[in-house]
Chain A
């Protein structure tokens, strides 16, 4: 034994990593217990079928993952897979368009001045407002993907542009002095320097994109997805299933943001740009 008393061992030491972790874990657990108890009380107090108790929601959740529902005929895993697939397609499309465009707009002031009025008109429009138009013009397969695309596109574009504008002009001058071509300046200086900003745009965009996919599936979807699942279950009054779907949306949203945060931090650290 190190000779510490029990009270000494239980005392919180903010310089100790294990103590910090334990503190966070205990506070999080207490917070969740209070949240679940509040939910339980509210559900019983309102006695409204649309607000099921935590126990019913948990039973529904475990049942849906194991057996699925009789309406769609598939398990929750399938709905998650469908929504994730749409999300990834929208994300890849947004990256493919927003990053090169952001680099160009950040690099060329004239091009930026020319396109900004249009982009500023389009940017404030909520992505879900496009859902009926995208779904009708491109169909039920591409419609929700394009809604995600719009959600991720603008944060990525503005962050990439900002990243390019923030580059120290001396870096570009130095590269040119050393004989770098315009393409090399673009690929060897500007793009790497803008990456942390691109990642920040990605981090913000992924949060918005996840909300977009669920919202567009709630509106209409050709082939399931969690938003669609929530919508049809609400139509039929399976409120415990609706809450289970909402819980899945919350967890997936949290995971998406955690992963993008981690990737962002990792790249920023690797590039020495903390």
Chain B
């Protein structure tokens, strides 16, 4: 007597399971290169700040004496702050301040909590002013943390400044120029051309801001008002000037390794990653991984210091051919940290170096820019260094 099962079908299923298990085992033992990025230049330092509603007493939260900030936990307790999102440097700063300096828990709004805590909720910086005004009557949102120009703009609209991010960590790293690693390995010339144009633009922006007057300065502020406003007419011109003064524009990579190590240690302390992820991927630790991320070669090739200060080498000095290339560049929405990119495009610096910048975005937060870079949707991205670091670590998991 025979079994009345469909034995052919079961034999196929069993064979499929054996084949899939075998191929999986083979693939699991194969070495693969993980997606990653390289950091080739800095974009800015500082340029963010914490604010509260106009009716909140700042002295209940912090007192500042001779540059020393003292935090008062009772004032912070149960407050609700807006953040651009957990992947942003602003979120990391607020989280670190609340947990380490204020000594309270930091929980997402809406979830039950028992320990004394500060709550956070994700709001795009461009919407923070409206959200805070909208919730004033029901006392829902007390404040937030935002990048420039939103911080200056919100304060100009009647909110109060608690501290700027430079008061939390002077000259802290913020945005960087990141390049998809595969693109970097295969399109070195394009990266060099882009970087030369970017450096030229960043130096020019720095010079204009140092002067602080004149047609070039007012022209730059016009651009800031256009780039930094989520919609036309929403960014106060004076606030734009303050925002520019609160931010340090640079391209230099010096000390970035040490500063990113500090960021990484902060993340580790906040429980956002462990050394195991790095060691499992073959790195000796945080420092080793950061050295792998930062590539100063292209920058040193395009910058020259000939006595009158550093400058970008000209296309002739770089012996560039007449070819031109398209580069897909991811950028953040309404973020004036990245103004040198927009200034360079407006002034034709990138064209001068044979680069057509195809802007990808704008993206709402640094995590999204990193997503675009790691998925090879964008070749180059201007992104906060903390999301660049954390997403690169997570890509190893």
Contacts and interface: CB of A to CB of B under 8 A. Distances in A.
Nearest to A79: B111
A237 B4 contact: no
Given A11-B4, A37-B20, A140-B121, A235 B108 contact: no
A73 B374 contact: no
Given A11-B3, A12-B5, A236-B272, 10 more contacts: A10-B5, A30-B13, A48-B35, A71-B272, A73-B108, A224-B110, A228-B122, A232-B86, A237-B370, A238-B397
Given A11-B4, A71-B272, A73-B113, A237 B391 contact: yes
Interface in B350-391: 365, 367-368, 370-371, 374-375, 387, 390-391
A30 B12 CA distance: 11
A235 B111 contact: no
B103 to A, nearest CB: 15
A45 interface: yes
22 contacts: A7-B3, A8-B1, A30-B17, A41-B24, A44-B28, A48-B35, A49-B34, A49-B374, A56-B397, A70-B272, A71-B108, A72-B111, A73-B105, A74-B112, A82-B111, A139-B134, A140-B121, A223-B109, A223-B110, A224-B110, A232-B87, A237-B370
B86 A235 contact: yes
B107 interface: yes
Interface string B1-13: 1111100000001
A222 interface: yes
Contacts of B107: 72-74
Interface of B: 1-5, 13, 16-17, 20-21, 23-24, 27-28, 30, 32-35, 85-87, 105-113, 117, 121-122, 134-135, 270-272, 365, 367-368, 370-371, 374-375, 387, 390-391, 394-397
Nearest to B28: A44
A189 B371 CA distance: 58
Interface of A: 5, 7-8, 10-12, 30, 33-34, 37-38, 40-41, 44-45, 47-50, 52, 56, 70-74, 78-79, 82, 139-140, 220-225, 228, 232, 234-240
A30 B10 CA distance: 9
B109 A222 contact: yes
Nearest to A238: B394
A224 B108 contact: yes
Among A30, A47, A56, A222, max chain B CB count under 10 A is at: A222
Contacts of B395: 49, 237
Among A30, A44, A234, max chain B CB count under 10 A is at: A44
A52 B397 contact: yes
Contact of B106 (A7, A38, A73): A73
A232 B27 CA distance: 30
A72 B375 contact: no
Contacts of B33: 47
A113 B110 CA distance: 43
Contacts of A38: 20
Nearest to A8: B1
A70 B268 CA distance: 10
